[in-house]
């Protein structure tokens, strides 16, 4: 008998966990983050607006359950409007590039990693994080981040 395992998206898994443990701030936070991340893949419009609203509602629930994490604060900030997350990431990228150009690699790296965490499709954030690790002499971590960039590369293979 050949049984195929059912594939779950992060949003589906997070919804399941949040429903099974409605008093868990962590599961509510993770669901909010997943919804917000997923919303960045949608075209502007009703679906995106509704998904951001659901993300905001879950983030507020996580906050009411006592979550005070930095990730939750980023989700709450980004979920203020459907386009806010995109603009916030663009602003973070600009700040990271400024820090990088000034030689403040730790600040740039932290920003690139935050962008990568919030945007599952950000090739540049992963590539630039690899650049920072390479410049700092950490070739193994540079390689890991370069591979992450390759994995999300949106260009068609030829």
Residue 143 lies in a domain: yes
Residues 78, 99 within the same domain? no
pLDDT at 75: 83
Residues 67, 22 within the same domain? yes
Residue 50 lies in a domain: yes
Query: How many domains are there within the chain?
Result: 2
Task: State which of 65, 82, 99 marks the end of a domain.
Answer: 82
Residues 51, 110 within the same domain? no
Residue 4 lies in a domain: no
Residues 68, 18 within the same domain? yes
Residues 101, 147 within the same domain? yes
Task: State which of 34, 51, 82 marks the end of a domain.
Answer: 82
> Which residues constitute the domain of residue 16?
10-82
Element (H, E) at 129: helix 123-135
Residue 157 lies in a domain: no
Residues of the chain with pLDDT under 50: 1, 4-5, 7, 156
Residues 38, 57 within the same domain? yes
Q: How far is CA 41 from the centre of its chain?
A: 11
Task: State which of 33, 58, 82 marks the end of a domain.
Answer: 82
Residue 137, domain CATH: 1.25.40.10
Q: What share of the chain is helix, strand, coil (3-state, %, to 5)?
A: 70, 0, 30
Residues 17, 78 within the same domain? yes
Residues 52, 78 within the same domain? yes
Residues 15, 76 within the same domain? yes
94/124 Cα distance (integer angstroms): 12
| Structural tokens at position 66 | 């006592």
pLDDT at 8: 52
At residue 104, φ and ψ (nearest 5 deg) are -90, 75
């Amino acid at each position: 008998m050949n049984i195929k395992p059912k594939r779950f998206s992060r949003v589906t898994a997070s919804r399941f966990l949040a429903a099974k443990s409605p008093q868990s701030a962590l599961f509510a936070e993770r669901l909010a983050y997943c919804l917000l991340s997923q919303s960045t893949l949608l075209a502007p419009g009703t679906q995106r607006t509704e998904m951001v609203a659901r993300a905001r509602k879950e983030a507020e629930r996580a906050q009411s359950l006592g979550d005070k994490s930095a990730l939750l604060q980023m989700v709450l900030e980004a979920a203020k409007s459907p386009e806010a997350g995109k603009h916030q990431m663009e602003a973070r990228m600009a700040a990271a590039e400024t820090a990088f150009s000034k030689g403040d690699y730790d600040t740039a790296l932290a920003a690139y990693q935050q962008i990568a965490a919030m945007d599952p499709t950000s090739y540049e954030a992963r590539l630039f994080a690899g650049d920072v690790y390479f410049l700092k002499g950490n070739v193994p971590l540079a390689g890991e981040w370069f591979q992450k960039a390759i994995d999300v590369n949106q260009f068609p293979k030829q």
